[in-house]
Amino acid sequence: MTIYDISEKAGVSIATVSRVLNGSDNVSAQTRQKVLSVIQECDYTPNAFARGLGLNSMNTIGILCADSSDLYLANAIYHIERELRQNSYNCILCCTGYGLEDKQKYLNLLVNKKVDSVILVGSNFISDNDAENDYIREAAKEIPVLLLNADFDCDNVYCSLCDDFKSALQATTYLIESGIQDILYLYSSKSYSTLRKLSGYQSALTQKGLPLRTEYMQYFPGNHADLPSIADFLSSLDHTLQYKAVVAADDNLAIGAVKFAHKKGLSIPHELSIIGYNNSILSTCCDPELTSVDNRLESLCHHIVTTLIGILNDKEMPQKVIFSGELIKRGTTR
């Protein structure tokens, strides 16, 4: 039962039904009465949010992200919200934090509010421990779920992602081919995307016949927005590590490596090469500027909105779309 059925049964236009639902004064008492009767008769409950909206904005999309102050996530929200609104969709944003319980809670909240679809922004919504992904499977039974930069196979789940494995593999290969063999991989989350990058780093080494050494894969346990402590972390590492390059899982960590090099008096890129990830505003902040992987965020966002609109208009849409990243070369590599 939709607003279209109500309009037909009541013999009035959709706009009139919408006006009645919106409590507009611009409807005669008689017409209002007729529409309300049909609604009651049909036991029609309009979409919670559609009720407040005009004809061209009948859909509300929930957007979940862990932390809207994270540079990558903030940019994603910006692009998605803009594009949805240009298409007359409304957005409800929830910042969930990184805990599973809160992610579950907010996703349920949105599903219960009968949003038309949800977009989960960032790969941290998917866990390696598959049981922890059940909350997404449950939601997908109710409404389409779209994942930005995560990969998850499930009915009614659609993924737009950048191939982080390939991007990290290419970045690492680029360093090896420039003559560097001792490369540190630095990461600060265990999200799907971060672990894919780690695999890419490992594959590059393996393909070139280089050894995998766990001490060259370092997990920074602190807050990746605290740049000075990233530099301190690198300073604190075992001095027997003889790396000549750092591949970082994001630009924050890479900036930490730049700061570390400055502190230690290492010349960049001659004594230490550094590659970041995200090609964010941070990549042009430092001196020299940061070589970084452009992970096509804007294209991903554009695609996810296109997919969403297609689904809501009953079109057949691909369940997975994968973009390739590009290494943007600047001053921190040769």
Report the half-sphere exposure of 203 (CA within 13 A, side-chain side). 14
Give the nearer residue to its own copies in terms of CB position, either 48 or 241.
48
327: nearest Cα among 151, 163, 209, 150? 163
Question: Of 11, 99, 222, 228, which lies in the binding site for its own copies, with binding defined by CB under 8 A?
Answer: 228
Among 16, 27, 81, 247, the residue binding its own copies under the rule CB under 8 A is 81
Q: Which of 118, 184, 249, 255 binds its own copies (CB under 8 A)?
A: 255
Tell me the three state secondary structure of residue 245: strand
Write the CA distances from 182 to 27, 185, 247, 273, integer angstroms: 74, 10, 11, 11
Please identify which residue in 248, 286, 300, 327 interacts with its own copies, judged by CB under 8 A. Answer: 286
74: contact with its own copies by CB under 8 A = yes
The answer to whether the beta carbons of residues 243 and 182 sit under 8 Å apart is yes
Smaller CB separation from its own copies, 130 or 271 = 271
Among 10, 77, 275, 305, binds its own copies (CB under 8 A): 77
Among 17, 53, 146, 247, binds its own copies (CB under 8 A): 53
Within residues 20-49, the interface with its own copies by CB under 8 A covers 22-23, 32-33, 36, 40, 43, 45, 47-49
Determine the distance from the C-alpha atom of residue 195 to the mean position of all C-alpha atoms in its chain, rounded to a whole number: 15
Check binding of 241 to its own copies (CB under 8 A).
no
Q: How many residues of this chain interact with its own copies, rule: CB under 8 A?
A: 57
Beta carbon of residue 213, minimum distance to its own copies (angstroms, whole number): 30
**259 touches its own copies (CB under 8 A):** yes
Considering the rule CB under 8 A, would residue 162 count as an interface residue with its own copies?
no
Map residue 5 onto helix, strand or coil.
helix
| Single-letter amino acid, residue 92 | I
Dist CA 132 CA 140 (whole Å): 14
Residues 6 or more apart whose CB falls under 8 angstroms from that of 241 comprise: 182, 184, 215, 216
DSSP characters over 135-190 = HHHHHHHHS-EEEES-----TTEEEEEE-HHHHHHHHHHHHHHTT---EEEEES--
258: contact with its own copies by CB under 8 A? yes
Closest approach of Cβ 22 to its own copies, in Å? 7
Residues that bind its own copies (CB under 8 A): 22-23, 32-33, 36, 40, 43, 45, 47-49, 51-54, 57, 63, 67-69, 71, 74-75, 77-79, 81-82, 85, 90-95, 97, 106, 109, 112-114, 225-228, 252, 255, 258-259, 262, 281-282, 284-287, 289
